[in-house]
Amino acid sequence: MKRKVAAILAADIASQSRLVADDEGETLRRLASSRQVRFFAVGPNERPANM
């Protein structure tokens, strides 16, 4: 399961520059939102791999 999650994250990061080029403001808003979700799910001092 962890390998599948890592692959999904890698694919998402690969398209980041295209998303920024299309709509920088919306991309940054979504990135901030996803960071808030990660902070809530994982905690402030933990890595996602420790879930």
pTM of structure: 0.43
pLDDT at position 51: 43
- Residue 26 is encoded by which pair of tokens? 């919306």
50 pLDDT more than 50 = no
Here the contacts of 11-19 (C-beta below 8 Å, separation 24 or greater) are none
- Give strand ranges (E) for 1-51: none
Please report which confidence band the pLDDT of residue 47 belongs to, taking 50, 70 and 90 as the band edges: low
Tell me the per-residue pLDDT of 23-32, one tens digit each, with 9 for 90 and over.
Answer: 989 888 887 8
Non-local CB neighbours of 2 within 8 Å, separated by 6+ positions: 49
Contact 38, 49 (CB under 8 A): no
In this predicted model, which residue has the larger pLDDT, 42 or 22? 22
Non-local CB neighbours of 49 within 8 Å, separated by 6+ positions: 2
